[in-house]
Structure 1
Amino acid sequence: MFLVPVRLSREQKRNCVELFKCLDVDQNGCLDEQEMLGAMLAQGYTQYQLSDARTLIKEYDIDGSGKIELKEFIKMMEHQASEELYKEYCDFIFDYIDRDGSGTITKRELRKMFSKSVANDDVVKMQCEALINSADDNYDGKIDRDEFKQLLRSIPYESLQQSFELFVRGKNASNC
């Protein structure tokens, strides 16, 4: 997944510092595996174990200390914000296409969406069929939200945003 880099504001960084201090139970200036697990459990992620905390530390431990220091914690929070932004944008696009609000994108909804931008209806049908077939992991003939997000994972955020905005602008121009 290609994420848009998010930089936290000063206030958000101050909030991260306060959160870090609360999570740093032994007040040694870094979060160990137990403290990371405690943070994950406090967030409601009850399925996580110590091995998950270890994995998270390995992912964000820039200096190799085996612990998360404040700067690394802030980087981790920025990355999480980037992931959330990407997920929200994917949800926004999904909801735009899922006109009936059923929680799935059908061939009909795709054809309707693409019909204004492609002149040949047979081409639209083929493209919609191919898109559904490539993303439909459970073979129900539709794309659900998870399948849609998986489909978009390989697209950089900026490209996704630009393409969607150009498509919507073009569609709105053709509706005038």
Structure 2
Amino acid sequence: MLYSYTMSSFLCFISFLLIISCYAGILPTGTQNDHKARVLDLPLSQQEHFTDLNNDKKVEHNTEYDHEAFLGTEEAKNFDKLPVEESKKRLGALFDRIDKDHNGTITKQELKDWIKSVQTRYISDDVQKQWIQMNNDSNNEISWNEYDKTTYYALYDDVPEPKTVTDQYLRLQKKDRRRFTKADEDGNGNLNKREFADFIHPEQSSRMKDLVITETIEDIDRNGDGMISLEEFISDIWDSKQANDTTEPDWVKIERENFRKYRDLDHDGKMNRKEVELWLMPTDYDNIQAETEHLFHEADADQDDQLSKEEILEKHDVFVGSQATDWGAELRIHNDL
């Protein structure tokens, strides 16, 4: 998110756990991403929209974010591998799909609807993938035993693990058990597919809202006072030891200021539960609308609040990229557009 809900305090163990969790590519729900996924909204991209692209501590616009928001993560990778002309050809075909009324232009609402459908598909695909991995008996429900034995198999096999890893697994197992119980809406001890979606993507479910807030506070709150201090907040998003540099980048300084101005609303130096809720679930921000406005700003040359095919193709690098943005990854190319 993205965005699978995450636990940044577990990041230092990920490299090792990736090795011991290679079975079916499964990790506990708390290890699927990093702090970037904390604000709960549809994951427009796995990238940061503005980030330090050149490791020079200067925040810049990242076009990869726009590509993934417009295409979806996997299709963005495919487009990145294409030659420019083929990329434009496929973008033209996409234009015709987005232009629902077939009048030759795309409105802001049509673009917004498209981006929303792309990101909703991401959630559905992820649920389906994990459902297949977890549903060992191929019925219409997943039991806790199925999920537990598949995800935390290292706790049950005969291979000894370091105590630190075992302790982390036990903590995550306990956390997942609580979330599983909350997601089990009918209380029958199993999860149907809708309940399973709420379990692995609680940030997308209104009935899981309170638990998401609780989990977030537990993840970041180091001193156990039930609140998130400024330093706890900063340590969650930036590790000076891992960065091997005690000089804070500009973006961290900006986050410090944002915490004081916009997150700690009562200015007591900490975020209480209500302030955490407003941070995770902002009521005054629509990320899909923001991305739509951004793409229009980049491409609407005549500023008529509509995008013609010519305008989009002229700015194809903003929407889909090309070989010019390929970082050398070996990517599969689909021809399904």
Flag whether TM exceeds 0.5 (same fold).
no
Give the structure with the larger helix fraction. Answer: 1
- Bin of the TM-score, shorter chain as denominator length: 0.3 to 0.5
The higher relative CO (CA closer than 8 Å, separation ≥ 6) is in 2
Q: Output the TM-score relative to the length of structure 2.
A: 0.24
Q: Output the TM-score relative to the length of structure 1.
A: 0.42
